[in-house]
Amino acid sequence: MAGEKILLVDDEPGIRKVLSISLADSGYEVRSAPDGEAALALFREERPDIVLADIKMPGMDGVELLRRIKEEGPDTEVIMITGHGDMELAIRSLKLEATDFIQKPIRDDQLEIALKRARERIGYRAQIRNHTENLERLVKEQAEKLVEAERLAAVGQALEGLVAAMSGIAGDMQNGIRFFNEIPCMVSIHSRDLKIVAANRLHREKLGDILGHDSGSIYESIDATERVSPAQHTFSEKKGVRERRTLCAADGTRLPVVVYTAPIKSDRGEVELVVEIAADVDEIRRLQKELAAAREHLATLGLLLGSVSHGIKGLLTRLDAGSYLLDGALASSDKEGVDEARRIIRMSAERIKKMVMDVLFYAKERDLECEETDLSEFARDTAQSVEARFFGPEVRLSTDFSAASGKIAADTEMLRSALINILQNAADACLADKAKSRHEVTFIVSADAWSAFFEITDNGVGIDENTREKLFTLFFSSKGKKGTGLGLFIAREIVLKHGGEISVSSRKGEGSSFSVRIPRNSCQNLTRASEMDEGGGRGEKKK
């Protein structure tokens, strides 16, 4: 709140003075104007976050000022000040997207409620804007990676052109070899007596200091044909060659490569030097796989954004409906209507936030950030975070954490997100079931010496066998257009990332039960498994 600008507009000096002092004491930066014209000029200059305007003023009244401000700054929150008998104008101002209205004489609690609502709306817009900017940044990063991968994968195709270009470099070996220091290929220059006389940086890193060595000494020879080096072939045939060979690296490993050569001729047309360019076959394949994966990920991300955009559009419509209901309920002092409208707005905002966070999880891979936490406390926090958001009179949440003893080492933020996805899915399944009069979701957490177990059971619509098989598939949703097909897919990915297991049992019309098992020390187990994999890899090479 501190530092937010408020523009106060009222033709009564006394009200301006008293309200300015009160707002300044609350931490706002206050500007004031005596009429609509002066207020509009000050608004254009200062661009305040919130405008507090009297509805009846000489000249340009508050309603007209509201209309003009919304045209120039749609995100500005405008609170109208009304007198007795101005209710019709107040309702008209709400239709013009005023945030709220308060009646004279102004009470402190009434003013604070209106300002709090304005700040919340400013905060929601900022969150959505930040999430949108993050999505745009992530898509841009993925696109840049794709371009870079394409550039690297094209090295193999570009080698022939580079070889031809090297034919024009004569005599100056040092400058010629420096030309290739930045490319991901091993480049060497060979003399007429078949000695290596220059090598680029990558060549020296992979094969060691081999200057002065025989041209064929860097290659593994299997048969008689391969005992002749590519450079020797080029000297004898006086033209470039392309061969598949195996290089002997300095650490003893063998590198399959594709070798391109180019003769460097003297003014008399005689071959004086030969350039060899060796491209690591494994590296080219890796780059090609990375390129294919990046393309697939970007294509999926595009589908994902389209799906989520459709979902967010529907939720924004619900937000508008909730705001309209709230305006009407406030105008008629209908407390139940106000509570219902706030529930709709809160639920819609939560679901928009969840959609955006799901997209961010899929768009950008991140490692587990492990911490040790008390299992029963983690279970209670998870239940509390969903109970107010997705459960109520229509669907009851029942919990049992009596057997949730001890500690668990996990990425609690990610694991909680997975469980919330499942719990929300269970609540939605209950809401979709019109055949039963009472609906309940049970959340049971228990543990043994090795694992923590999470059981989430509902008595909702249930799932048929065909749907169960596809339930954890990306973009598959049993809710039709109401779902994005992200929630359970991401829940499964998080569970697997922890080295755990997830399963579901269900019968159509009878409800569903999700079972999740997470190792108590999942992060430690994953680290140990990774080390064993690396050790196994090294063992295979030694063998």
Q: Which residues contact 210 (CB under 8 A, 6 or more apart)?
A: 196, 199, 217, 218
Residues 340, 377, single domain; the answer is: no
Same domain flag for 385 and 249: no
The total of structural domains in the chain comes to 4
Residues 6+ apart with CB under 8 A from 356: 128, 131, 132, 135, 308, 312
Domain extent, residue 182, equals 156-282
Tell me the two tokens of residue 64.
Answer: 């007209």
Task: Establish whether the linkage from the previous residue to 393 is cis, with ω within 30° of 0.
Answer: no
Indicate whether 377 and 514 sit together in one domain.
yes
DSSP secondary structure code for residue 107 in this structure:
P
Which contacts (CB < 8 Å, 24+ apart) does range 84-93 have?
Answer: 86/55, 86/56, 87/331, 89/55, 89/56, 89/62, 89/63, 90/55, 90/331, 91/327, 91/331, 92/63, 93/55, 93/62, 93/63, 93/66
Look at residues 282, 317, 348 and tell me which one is the last residue of a structural domain: 282
Residue 535 lies inside a defined structural domain of this protein: no
Tokens of 446: 């228990």
pTM (predicted TM-score): 0.39
Examine the domain organization and report whether 351 and 479 are in the same domain.
no
Flag whether 253 is in a domain. Answer: yes
Contact (Cβ atoms closer than 8 angstroms) between residue 215 and residue 242? no
Question: Does 139 map to a domain?
Answer: yes
168 shares its domain with 93: no
113 domain-assigned: no
Collect all residues with Cβ–Cβ distance below 8 Å to 417 and sequence separation of at least 6: 357, 361, 490, 491, 494
> How would you write the pLDDT of the chain (543 residues) with one tens digit per residue?
446 889 999 998 888 888 888 888 888 899 999 999 999 999 999 899 999 999 888 889 888 999 999 899 888 999 988 886 677 787 788 888 888 888 888 888 888 888 888 888 888 888 877 777 777 677 677 666 665 555 544 444 444 444 444 444 434 445 555 566 767 788 888 888 999 988 888 888 889 988 889 998 888 876 655 678 899 999 999 888 989 888 888 888 888 998 989 888 877 888 888 889 888 887 777 767 766 666 665 555 555 555 556 556 666 766 777 777 788 778 888 888 787 877 777 777 766 666 666 665 555 566 677 888 999 999 998 888 788 767 778 889 999 999 999 999 988 888 888 898 889 889 888 988 888 889 999 999 999 999 999 999 999 988 888 777 777 665 445 544 444 446 677 788 888 888 999 999 988 888 999 999 999 887 665 444 444 444 444 333 333
φ/ψ of 195, rounded to 5, equals: -115, 150
Which CATH number belongs to the domain containing residue 244 in this structure? 3.30.450.20
For residues 382 and 515, membership in a common domain is answered with yes
- The H or E element spanning position 77 is strand 77-82
